[in-house]
Amino acid sequence: MNIDHLALLARLELTDSEKILFSSQVENVITYIDKLNELDTGSIEPTAHILPVSNVFREDELKPSLPREIALQNAPEEQDGLYCVPKIIE
């Protein structure tokens, strides 16, 4: 595994000593993954979670919302009943 390529993909600038250290660590991870690939998992059902997971959703309830005046009372600036915020993208 080329550590320079990984650093480029991760947008990292690595020193020479960091490259040596991380190359060794990445190699150790890949070696461990190769060892895990030796296990026979043919009889194991694929799962996303070890434990059963179920979502519990509440029923949607129609409720009145805040009146516009109250919702806008703490707005730093408001125009035509809407929040005004500074432009962040040019």
* DSSP bridge pairs for 82: 79
Residue 6: Cβ-neighbour burial (10 angstroms; 0-12, 13-18, 19+) = middle
pTM: 0.45
pLDDT in tens, 18-63: 999 999 999 999 999 999 889 998 898 888 888 888 888 888 899 9
**41-to-48, 62, 90 alpha-carbon distances in Å:** 15, 49, 52
Q: What is the pLDDT of residue 52?
A: 83
